[in-house]
Structure 1
Amino acid sequence: MSVVEQYARARVLTGADLPDEEDGGAVPVVLRYDPEDDPRSVRIGLPGRGSREWTLPRALLEQGLRMPAGTGEVRVWPCGRVQAVVEFHSAQGCSMVQFETKTLLRFLTRTYQAATAATAAEPVAR
Protein backbone atom coordinates (compact mmCIF):
# COMPACT_ATOMS: atom_id res chain seq x y z
CA MET A 1 0.00 0.00 0.00
CA SER A 2 1.10 3.50 -0.72
CA VAL A 3 1.76 6.00 2.05
CA VAL A 4 1.04 9.60 1.08
CA GLU A 5 3.39 12.16 2.55
CA GLN A 6 3.26 15.79 1.52
CA TYR A 7 5.40 18.62 2.79
CA ALA A 8 3.83 22.05 3.04
CA ARG A 9 4.39 25.45 4.54
CA ALA A 10 1.76 26.82 6.85
CA ARG A 11 1.44 30.08 8.71
CA VAL A 12 1.29 29.99 12.49
CA LEU A 13 -1.44 32.29 13.78
CA THR A 14 -1.05 31.40 17.48
CA GLY A 15 0.86 28.84 19.47
CA ALA A 16 3.43 29.27 22.17
CA ASP A 17 4.81 25.78 21.52
CA LEU A 18 5.61 26.49 17.85
CA PRO A 19 8.74 28.32 16.66
CA ASP A 20 8.65 31.97 15.65
CA GLU A 21 9.84 32.31 12.08
CA GLU A 22 11.08 35.50 10.47
CA ASP A 23 8.97 34.99 7.33
CA GLY A 24 5.59 35.80 8.90
CA GLY A 25 5.23 32.66 10.96
CA ALA A 26 5.60 30.17 8.09
CA VAL A 27 6.68 26.73 9.27
CA PRO A 28 7.29 23.41 7.51
CA VAL A 29 4.46 20.94 8.07
CA VAL A 30 4.19 17.26 7.13
CA LEU A 31 0.83 15.90 5.97
CA ARG A 32 0.71 12.10 6.11
CA TYR A 33 -1.75 9.35 5.24
CA ASP A 34 -1.10 5.65 5.73
CA PRO A 35 -4.07 3.53 4.58
CA GLU A 36 -2.56 0.43 6.18
CA ASP A 37 -2.24 2.10 9.59
CA ASP A 38 -5.65 3.85 9.60
CA PRO A 39 -7.56 4.37 6.35
CA ARG A 40 -9.91 6.94 7.91
CA SER A 41 -7.32 9.27 9.45
CA VAL A 42 -4.63 11.69 8.39
CA ARG A 43 -1.74 13.10 10.41
CA ILE A 44 -0.36 16.60 10.54
CA GLY A 45 3.16 16.98 11.88
CA LEU A 46 4.04 20.35 13.35
CA PRO A 47 7.56 21.53 14.21
CA GLY A 48 8.57 22.97 17.55
CA ARG A 49 9.72 21.75 20.90
CA GLY A 50 9.19 18.02 20.81
CA SER A 51 7.63 18.12 17.31
CA ARG A 52 3.94 17.39 17.69
CA GLU A 53 1.96 15.12 15.39
CA TRP A 54 -1.83 15.26 15.37
CA THR A 55 -4.12 12.54 14.05
CA LEU A 56 -7.55 13.55 12.83
CA PRO A 57 -10.33 12.02 10.79
CA ARG A 58 -9.83 12.59 7.07
CA ALA A 59 -13.55 13.46 6.80
CA LEU A 60 -13.10 16.23 9.41
CA LEU A 61 -10.33 17.84 7.38
CA GLU A 62 -12.43 17.62 4.22
CA GLN A 63 -15.57 19.02 5.87
CA GLY A 64 -13.59 21.83 7.49
CA LEU A 65 -12.57 23.15 4.09
CA ARG A 66 -16.25 23.92 3.39
CA MET A 67 -17.64 24.84 6.84
CA PRO A 68 -16.50 24.90 10.48
CA ALA A 69 -15.99 21.34 11.71
CA GLY A 70 -14.72 19.53 14.77
CA THR A 71 -14.90 19.70 18.51
CA GLY A 72 -12.39 18.90 21.17
CA GLU A 73 -8.71 18.72 20.26
CA VAL A 74 -8.92 19.54 16.54
CA ARG A 75 -11.11 22.04 14.69
CA VAL A 76 -10.97 23.08 11.04
CA TRP A 77 -12.68 25.93 9.22
CA PRO A 78 -12.40 27.88 5.97
CA CYS A 79 -10.75 31.29 6.21
CA GLY A 80 -11.78 33.28 3.19
CA ARG A 81 -11.78 31.72 -0.26
CA VAL A 82 -8.23 30.38 -0.42
CA GLN A 83 -7.20 29.49 3.11
CA ALA A 84 -8.21 27.18 5.94
CA VAL A 85 -7.35 27.17 9.62
CA VAL A 86 -6.61 24.07 11.66
CA GLU A 87 -6.81 24.62 15.41
CA PHE A 88 -5.07 22.18 17.76
CA HIS A 89 -5.79 22.06 21.51
CA SER A 90 -3.53 20.37 24.03
CA ALA A 91 -2.53 20.67 27.67
CA GLN A 92 0.14 23.16 26.53
CA GLY A 93 -2.46 25.47 24.97
CA CYS A 94 -3.93 26.19 21.57
CA SER A 95 -2.14 26.40 18.23
CA MET A 96 -3.82 27.78 15.13
CA VAL A 97 -2.19 27.05 11.79
CA GLN A 98 -3.32 28.51 8.46
CA PHE A 99 -2.95 26.50 5.25
CA GLU A 100 -3.64 27.29 1.63
CA THR A 101 -6.84 25.39 0.83
CA LYS A 102 -5.38 24.08 -2.44
CA THR A 103 -2.55 22.43 -0.49
CA LEU A 104 -5.01 20.52 1.70
CA LEU A 105 -7.23 19.66 -1.29
CA ARG A 106 -4.24 18.28 -3.21
CA PHE A 107 -3.30 16.18 -0.17
CA LEU A 108 -6.86 14.87 0.28
CA THR A 109 -7.08 13.97 -3.42
CA ARG A 110 -3.86 11.97 -3.11
CA THR A 111 -5.21 10.16 -0.02
CA TYR A 112 -8.38 9.09 -1.83
CA GLN A 113 -6.31 7.87 -4.78
CA ALA A 114 -4.11 5.85 -2.41
CA ALA A 115 -7.16 4.40 -0.65
CA THR A 116 -8.72 3.40 -3.98
CA ALA A 117 -5.48 1.79 -5.13
CA ALA A 118 -5.16 -0.07 -1.82
CA THR A 119 -8.72 -1.41 -2.09
CA ALA A 120 -8.16 -2.48 -5.69
CA ALA A 121 -4.97 -4.33 -4.71
CA GLU A 122 -6.68 -6.41 -1.99
CA PRO A 123 -7.08 -10.07 -2.93
CA VAL A 124 -10.58 -11.31 -3.57
CA ALA A 125 -11.76 -13.90 -1.02
CA ARG A 126 -13.17 -17.07 -2.52
Structure 2
Amino acid sequence: MSTVIEHPVQARLVAAAPRMTVIPSTMHYDTGDPFAVRMTFPGPATLEGVEVCWTFSRDLLAEGLRGPHGVGDVRVLPYAEGRTALEFHSPEGAAVVHVPTEEVRRFLAASAALVPFGGEHLHLDLDHDLARLMRDVI
Protein backbone atom coordinates (compact mmCIF):
# COMPACT_ATOMS: atom_id res chain seq x y z
CA MET A 1 0.00 0.00 0.00
CA SER A 2 1.34 3.36 -0.99
CA THR A 3 0.95 6.49 1.12
CA VAL A 4 1.70 9.85 -0.43
CA ILE A 5 2.68 13.17 1.15
CA GLU A 6 2.22 16.35 -0.86
CA HIS A 7 3.73 19.44 0.74
CA PRO A 8 3.16 22.78 -1.00
CA VAL A 9 6.08 25.20 -0.76
CA GLN A 10 6.73 28.70 -2.02
CA ALA A 11 9.96 28.41 -3.97
CA ARG A 12 11.72 31.49 -5.26
CA LEU A 13 13.26 31.25 -8.72
CA VAL A 14 16.67 32.89 -8.79
CA ALA A 15 17.09 34.74 -12.05
CA ALA A 16 19.89 36.82 -13.51
CA ALA A 17 17.98 39.91 -12.43
CA PRO A 18 17.98 40.78 -8.72
CA ARG A 19 14.22 40.14 -8.52
CA MET A 20 13.21 36.63 -7.44
CA THR A 21 9.91 35.22 -8.64
CA VAL A 22 7.73 33.18 -6.25
CA ILE A 23 6.70 29.79 -7.65
CA PRO A 24 4.03 27.71 -5.91
CA SER A 25 5.59 24.25 -6.11
CA THR A 26 4.94 20.94 -4.40
CA MET A 27 7.24 18.43 -2.77
CA HIS A 28 5.99 14.82 -2.95
CA TYR A 29 6.91 11.68 -1.06
CA ASP A 30 5.38 8.29 -1.87
CA THR A 31 6.05 5.20 0.25
CA GLY A 32 5.80 3.20 -2.97
CA ASP A 33 9.12 4.78 -4.00
CA PRO A 34 10.66 5.22 -0.53
CA PHE A 35 14.12 6.45 -1.55
CA ALA A 36 12.85 9.31 -3.73
CA VAL A 37 11.22 12.70 -3.44
CA ARG A 38 9.74 14.72 -6.27
CA MET A 39 9.43 18.44 -6.67
CA THR A 40 6.82 19.69 -9.12
CA PHE A 41 6.76 23.12 -10.71
CA PRO A 42 3.64 24.46 -12.45
CA GLY A 43 3.55 25.18 -16.19
CA PRO A 44 3.66 28.98 -15.93
CA ALA A 45 7.04 28.70 -14.14
CA THR A 46 8.72 26.73 -16.93
CA LEU A 47 10.17 27.69 -20.29
CA GLU A 48 7.91 25.23 -22.13
CA GLY A 49 4.79 26.21 -20.22
CA VAL A 50 4.15 22.65 -19.02
CA GLU A 51 4.40 21.21 -15.52
CA VAL A 52 7.89 19.90 -14.70
CA CYS A 53 8.66 17.29 -12.07
CA TRP A 54 12.14 16.49 -10.80
CA THR A 55 12.79 13.23 -8.92
CA PHE A 56 15.80 12.91 -6.65
CA SER A 57 17.02 11.17 -3.51
CA ARG A 58 15.42 11.92 -0.17
CA ASP A 59 18.89 11.53 1.36
CA LEU A 60 20.22 14.19 -1.02
CA LEU A 61 17.58 16.62 0.23
CA ALA A 62 18.35 15.83 3.88
CA GLU A 63 22.14 16.03 3.44
CA GLY A 64 21.78 19.31 1.55
CA LEU A 65 20.38 20.95 4.68
CA ARG A 66 23.74 20.43 6.43
CA GLY A 67 26.07 21.33 3.55
CA PRO A 68 26.41 21.31 -0.24
CA HIS A 69 25.37 17.92 -1.57
CA GLY A 70 24.94 16.39 -5.01
CA VAL A 71 27.09 16.06 -8.10
CA GLY A 72 24.53 15.31 -10.80
CA ASP A 73 21.44 17.00 -12.17
CA VAL A 74 20.19 18.05 -8.72
CA ARG A 75 22.25 19.78 -6.06
CA VAL A 76 21.06 20.98 -2.65
CA LEU A 77 22.83 23.40 -0.34
CA PRO A 78 22.10 25.66 2.62
CA TYR A 79 21.60 29.31 1.80
CA ALA A 80 21.40 32.48 3.88
CA GLU A 81 18.36 33.71 5.79
CA GLY A 82 16.79 30.30 6.52
CA ARG A 83 16.61 29.16 2.91
CA THR A 84 17.79 26.05 1.12
CA ALA A 85 18.93 26.28 -2.50
CA LEU A 86 18.05 23.56 -4.98
CA GLU A 87 19.87 23.59 -8.31
CA PHE A 88 18.34 21.72 -11.23
CA HIS A 89 20.59 21.08 -14.26
CA SER A 90 19.41 19.81 -17.65
CA PRO A 91 20.68 19.99 -21.24
CA GLU A 92 18.39 23.01 -21.74
CA GLY A 93 19.99 24.94 -18.89
CA ALA A 94 19.92 25.29 -15.14
CA ALA A 95 17.49 26.69 -12.59
CA VAL A 96 18.05 27.56 -8.96
CA VAL A 97 15.20 27.84 -6.49
CA HIS A 98 15.24 28.82 -2.84
CA VAL A 99 12.86 27.11 -0.44
CA PRO A 100 12.38 27.98 3.24
CA THR A 101 14.57 25.52 5.17
CA GLU A 102 11.86 25.01 7.79
CA GLU A 103 9.46 23.82 5.05
CA VAL A 104 12.05 21.30 3.85
CA ARG A 105 12.55 20.09 7.42
CA ARG A 106 8.79 19.69 7.94
CA PHE A 107 8.50 17.75 4.68
CA LEU A 108 11.38 15.45 5.63
CA ALA A 109 9.94 14.90 9.11
CA ALA A 110 6.57 13.95 7.62
CA SER A 111 8.25 11.51 5.23
CA ALA A 112 10.33 10.03 8.08
CA ALA A 113 7.15 9.49 10.11
CA LEU A 114 5.96 7.23 7.28
CA VAL A 115 9.31 5.64 6.42
CA PRO A 116 12.21 6.23 8.81
CA PHE A 117 15.54 7.04 7.20
CA GLY A 118 17.41 3.76 6.80
CA GLY A 119 14.17 1.76 6.68
CA GLU A 120 13.33 2.41 3.02
CA HIS A 121 14.24 -1.14 1.97
CA LEU A 122 11.43 -2.47 4.18
CA HIS A 123 8.90 -0.71 1.94
CA LEU A 124 10.09 -2.16 -1.35
CA ASP A 125 8.13 -4.95 -3.02
CA LEU A 126 11.00 -6.57 -4.92
CA ASP A 127 8.94 -9.59 -6.00
CA HIS A 128 6.34 -7.34 -7.60
CA ASP A 129 8.95 -5.14 -9.25
CA LEU A 130 10.87 -8.13 -10.61
CA ALA A 131 7.66 -9.66 -11.97
CA ARG A 132 6.89 -6.37 -13.74
CA LEU A 133 10.34 -6.29 -15.30
CA MET A 134 10.13 -9.91 -16.42
CA ARG A 135 6.60 -9.61 -17.80
CA ASP A 136 7.85 -8.18 -21.09
CA VAL A 137 10.75 -10.62 -21.41
CA ILE A 138 8.74 -13.85 -21.39
TM-score relative to the length of structure 2: 0.74
Gap runs ≥5 in structure 2 = 124-138
Task: Indicate yes or no: 2:9 matched with 1:8.
Answer: yes
Q: Which residue of 1 aligns with 2:34?
A: 39
Gap runs ≥5 in structure 1 = 16-22, 121-126
Moved more, 58-67 or 72-81: 72-81
CA contact (8 A) 1:4 1:111 kept: yes
TM-score relative to the length of structure 1: 0.81
Deviation at 1:25, TM superposition (A): 0.3
Deviation at 1:114, TM superposition (A): 1.4
Deviation at 1:50, TM superposition (A): 1.7
Q: What amino acid is aligned across from residue 90 of structure 1 in structure 2?
A: S
Q: Which has the higher helix share?
A: 2
CA contact (8 A) 2:14 2:20 kept: no
CA contact (8 A) 2:26 2:39 kept: yes
Larger Cα Rg: Structure 1 or Structure 2?
2
Deviation at 1:14, TM superposition (A): 3.1
User: Which SS does the other structure have where 1:25 is aligned?
Assistant: strand
Q: How does 1:1-126 map to 2 (within 5 A)?
A: 1-14=2-15, 24-36=20-32, 38-47=33-42, 48=46, 49-116=49-116
Moved over 3 A (4+): none
In percent, how many aligned pairs have the same letter?
33
Deviation at 1:81, TM superposition (A): 4.9
Give aligned pairs, total.
Answer: 111
